[in-house]
Amino acid sequence: MSTVIAITNQKGGVGKTTTSSALLAALKQRGAHVLGIDLDPQGSLGFCLGLDIESCATIYDVMRGDKPVREVILETDSGDILPSNILLSGAELEFNRPGREFLLKSQLDELQDEYDFIIIDTPPALNVLTVNAYVAADSLIIPMAPEILSLLGVSQIRETIDTVRRHYNSRLRVLGILLNKFNPRLNLNREVLELSEQIAEQLDSKVFESKIRASVSVAEAPAHGESVIGYAPHSKPALDFQSLVDELWGRQFPLPDDSD
């Protein structure tokens, strides 16, 4: 059975795609079979991993029922990807039939025995696409930047999580809040850490011990069609993401000795 994880925050610019691509690459490096699903109409996950998202079939075709899911999956150095593009932006209006919350889950059920991890990169909104991700997922990782507005986005997710638990997916849980672009020497960063710990408690979760430090390599990696793990494996963010994988799944998927 696959472990399905949605990377979510309704605020943009908090590192959802960076986190998704890094987790995929790190887990694949450790021998896991991984699938990334891009549910953001901007198509950032596929684009950042080197795919031509404008000329391929996408998750939109799968959710419409126009393409079988296996025909749309593409291979990258960071793992298999179900890409997205701007066509998905019409989902809120187009996917309006009963049961629309289960469009993604019904497709992923076919793939449950083929991957160790399925990681879903969600849009910066609490809409039908995000709800589809929550319904399909076992758990959530909530990335956030050390900013007050980012905290507001996290606190507003709770209502959506509660709704999904009540009506669609009672097993959904929050694995933790992940602080991106973190600098412990800055007062604001320390204050946001304290506040995020309070929010995590409300979500019956925690703030991960691993914090992701800032580096120019995060911004450079997409231009090379790679995750930060592949592009700059010894950079601070890459090492921090490896630490996060160790924190979550290190016993099951340890880092190979030749990757140090």
Q: How far is CA 118 from the centre of its chain?
A: 9
* Total count of domains within the chain: 1
**DSSP 8-state secondary structure symbol assigned to residue 67:** S
- What percentage of the chain has pLDDT greater than the value 70? 98
**45, 51, 95, 92: which is closest to 75 by C-alpha?**
51
Sheet holding 117-121, edge to edge: 74-76, 79-82, 34-38, 117-121, 3-7, 139-144, 173-179
pLDDT at 258: 63
Residue 260 has pLDDT above 80, yes or no: no
User: CA-to-CA distance for 240 and 177, rounded, in angstroms?
Assistant: 14
pLDDT bracket for residue 248 (50, 70, 90): very high
User: CA-to-CA distance for 59 and 81, rounded, in angstroms?
Assistant: 10
pLDDT at 97: 85
pLDDT bracket for residue 9 (50, 70, 90): very high
CATH no. for residue 90?
Answer: 3.40.50.300
In a domain, 93, yes or no: yes
109-113, 220-224, 254-258: least confident range = 254-258
In a domain, 242, yes or no: yes
Task: Evaluate whether 34 touches 28 at the Cβ level (below 8 Å).
Answer: yes
Give the pLDDT mean for 115-123. Answer: 97
Beta strands 79-82 and 34-38: pairing type? parallel
User: Would you state the structure tokens that stand for residue 102, as one six-digit string?
Assistant: 């289960």
User: Would you state the structure tokens that stand for residue 260, as one six-digit string?
Assistant: 């140090």
In a domain, 255, yes or no: no
In a domain, 91, yes or no: yes
User: CA-to-CA distance for 14 and 26, rounded, in angstroms?
Assistant: 20
Q: For residue range 26-75, what is the model confidence (pLDDT) as tens digits? A: 999 999 999 999 999 999 999 999 999 999 999 999 999 999 999 999 99
In a domain, 226, yes or no: yes
- What percentage of the chain has pLDDT greater than the value 90? 78
Phi-psi category of residue 204: left, alpha or beta, with phi > 0 → left and psi -120 to 50 → alpha: left
Amino acid at 130: T
Question: 155 or 81: which carries more pLDDT confidence?
Answer: 81
In a domain, 257, yes or no: no
User: CA-to-CA distance for 124 and 40, rounded, in angstroms?
Assistant: 8
Average pLDDT, the chain: 93
pLDDT at 259: 56
**What is the C-alpha end-to-end distance of the chain, expressed in Å?**
29
Domain that holds residue 12: 3-248
In a domain, 70, yes or no: yes
In a domain, 143, yes or no: yes
